[in-house]
Amino acid sequence: MVTSKKSRRALALAAVVVGSLVASILPASADNAAPKGDLVLVRNQDFATFDPDLAQNDSIFPQQQIYEGLYRASTDGTKIEPWLAKSYTTSANGLTWTFKLRTDVKFSDGTPLTSGDVKFSIDRATKGDGWGFLNTAIASVDAPAADTVVITTKFKWAPLLADLASFSNSIMKKDFGGVTAAEYFKAPIGTGPFMFDHWTPGTELKLVANKKYWQPGKPYLNSVTWKYVVDDNTREFMLKGGQADINEEPPAATIKSLQASPNIKVGIFPAAASNFLAFNHKVPALSDVHVRRAISYAIDRAAISKVVFSGLATPSNSFLAPGVQFYDKTTPGQQFDLKKAAAELKMSKYAKGLKLDLLIRGGNKTHEATASIVQAALKKIGVTMTITAQEPSVQRATQKKMEYQMTLTAWTMDIVDPDELLTFGLTPDGGTHAYFTNYNNAAVNAAVVKGQTNVDPKVRQAAYSFVQKQTAEDAFMAFTVNPPYLYAWTNKITGFYVNPLYTYRMEDVKKAS
């Protein structure tokens, strides 16, 4: 579906519409008025940590309002732009990168940003157990002058600038400003537009304007509060009732209702995102490629798009999402075909059927509806599937401990390069047992490395095309749909925009009184 001319025209039109939307909602220029307006954003994920190395989607978005990096993605999510760094040069052999820092940046406590802060932060990120794999290529970081940072890599590394734009390489104060890491992450200090106010786990996180922010006139808001409200219906009622200003990820089934509501705006943002049905390969039945292919063939992706996403999602064909660099639209994947599903199951030792369990997030309408479609489809080929629901944070923990059989999961690209996802999701270097599936294919691992260590785009494309085709053939996960990002907000809010890398910049947001 995503390779049709009709779809390409639709995507092109969407890009034009979104471009117009960006132009209309982003402030044309900064003013120097004092911050005003207190914004409340409701979401179905609880905040977890201020440690960039431990961040997941539950924590990344608030962290990005406090911390900043040397580079960041452009507003449209397709390019890398300098941020705390203003320029760089590389050596003739491509191994030494010299960065010049901005000299007008201060932390929220008033101390100036220096190369020592950058070296400390990147060195710590490189040693990290969570996202340290992104910095695998970094051999050393030096700070020869207050405004100069030198990064030396072990080998040529194409994704370096993209990796430096990741939240995991956020810049913190050197030596945590003289306190312990635990103390620092209870009240973090960064160079971003907002600063810490308070956090009540399980309830809310509040940030207030950083009045020492280096961009004149920003932020426009006095504060932003993220409230944890797990139930989809409750979040919708809060938005419509004026108790919330922005609703993060409302179910697609509610979009038409929200669009029809007075004083409510809806954002359907193009996304570099993928939804997956993950398999735990430690489960005997799911270690069989024929079982995994059978399940993948049995999934009616068009039905998921229509029923779960109101037709807003596209059936997925690849581990990478459309719009991600080096995405290969010719990767076939397994598409809906019950005859092929039954044939694959017959090639396994479970030809007479089997029982499996699907773990989902409780209170999540998207998960519930998707699970029902998968359950009905698998029944047609002799697979009896039960559904287990857990609170979102518990579900994620269960997946990480690999105490599940199948689960619904998703990925949103944080950087423009596929390096992050391919390392996290496929290779031993990611430290996640291939996205917590236990998949391990030596040829795939080698191709990922080849793509990372070659700067020639043609070589990288060939390597990443192989990766996409082989992971689809192995059905290491079932690629279901590529959804958009869905948000809703009141008409008091302007300047709110979510880019394809799932980043929103609250310094650009205003709230009318």
pLDDT digits (tens, 9 = 90+) for 147-157: 999 999 999 99
Distance between CA 121 and CA 141 in Å, rounded?
A: 10
Distance between CA 46 and CA 36 in Å, rounded?
A: 26
Strand partners, 133: none
Residue 30 in this model has a pLDDT that exceeds 50: no
pLDDT band at 75 (very low <50, low <70, confident <90, very high): confident
State the Cα torsion 371-376-380-384 to the nearest 10°: 60
Mean pLDDT, range 485-501, rounded to an integer: 95
Range in 169-178, 208-217, 329-338 with the lowest mean pLDDT: 329-338
Burial class (CB in 10 A: 0-12, 13-18, 19+), 151: buried
The closest of 62, 99, 10, 381 to 190, measured between CA atoms, is: 62
158 CB neighbour count, 10 Å cutoff: 20
The closest of 163, 40, 49, 232 to 421, measured between CA atoms, is: 163
CA angle 346, 348, 349 (to 5 degrees): 105
pLDDT of residue 26: 43
CB 304 within 8 A of CB 277: no
Mean pLDDT, range 491-506, rounded to an integer: 94
pLDDT of residue 244: 98
pLDDT of residue 76: 83
Distance between CA 152 and CA 164 in Å, rounded?
A: 13
Mean pLDDT, range 368-393, rounded to an integer: 96
| Parallel, antiparallel or unpaired: strands 71-73 and 80-82 | antiparallel
For the chain, the distance separating the N- and C-terminal CA atoms, rounded to the nearest angstrom, is 45
pLDDT band at 58 (very low <50, low <70, confident <90, very high): confident
CB 424 within 8 A of CB 430: yes
pLDDT of residue 428: 75
CB 223 within 8 A of CB 142: no
Mean pLDDT, range 394-399, rounded to an integer: 94
- pLDDT above 90 covers a percentage of the chain that reads 82
pLDDT band at 13 (very low <50, low <70, confident <90, very high): very low
pLDDT of residue 393: 85
| Of 385 and 45, more confident | 385
pLDDT tens-digit readout, 269-304: 999 999 999 999 999 999 999 999 999 999 999 999
The token duo for 471 is 């992971």
pLDDT of residue 35: 72
Phi, psi torsion values for 375, nearest 5 degrees: -60, -45
pLDDT band at 332 (very low <50, low <70, confident <90, very high): confident
Domains of the chain with bracketed CATH: 35-66+192-270+485-513 (3.40.190.10), 68-176 (3.40.190.10), 273-482 (3.10.105.10)
Mean pLDDT, range 474-481, rounded to an integer: 97
